[in-house]
Amino acid sequence: MDVKIEQSWKEVLANEFQEPYFEKLTTFVREEYKGNTPIYPPAKLIFNAFDHCPFNDVKVVILGQDPYHGAGQANGLCFSVNRGVQPPPSLVNIFKEVAADTGRPIPDNGDLTRWSDQGVLLLNATLTVRAASAGSHQNKGWEQFTDAVIRILAQKREHLVFILWGSYAQKKGAFIDRNRHLVLTSPHPSPLSAYHGFFGNHHFTQANDYLERHNKSGIVW
């Protein structure tokens, strides 16, 4: 199956694209985009996280769950929204923690492409969603695909930083070898849990300290 994804990912995921579940997933997603209900992100941005962050350039992986399901929000990067779109509450809290942790000013937009281009894979567990219907594309095969992405990164690369916010991300990344990679966990940045351990987690400086100790440049958060 010819999947339109960045070439290095196309190579390392080649076996995955031949699996029966991925063929079923592709059929489902194509039919969804043909329907009357909008599907997010736009089809050309489904693999945006990979296209901005080639396999060998990955330094940090941040795991999300679903794309945003509001009009104009999702751009294929977890937690990120397009320029001109009001940052959702979780992203606002992420920026607050970045500012408190690193001293960097809160940016004037919520587009995290600048992180992706530095080696941060902003990976949602599910890469598509129906408009105004959170979780509508769960359990269709995306989770198996993104599990494979994490597994291949964890096995083929060394000294990556995996940032897992909330119980869903922590379960998804439970198998990552902590001796080979840095795994940072805390509550989710959503307003419901941010004050229960997300604020003050210092994940951004911890990630950079680890990268620099392993001769990699840190991220300009």
Catalytic residues: 66
CA gap 88, 167 in Å, rounded: 20
DSSP structure string for 48-106: HHHHTS-GGG--EEEEESS---STTT--SSTT---TTSPPPHHHHHHHHHHHHHH-PPP
Q: Is the peptide bond before 41 cis (omega within 30 degrees of 0)?
A: yes
Q: Report in angstroms the alpha-carbon separations of 146 from 45, 99, 161.
A: 16, 30, 16
Q: Is residue 162 classed as helix, strand or coil in its secondary structure?
A: strand
* Residue 28 to residues 20, 128, 210, Cα–Cα distance (Å): 13, 11, 40
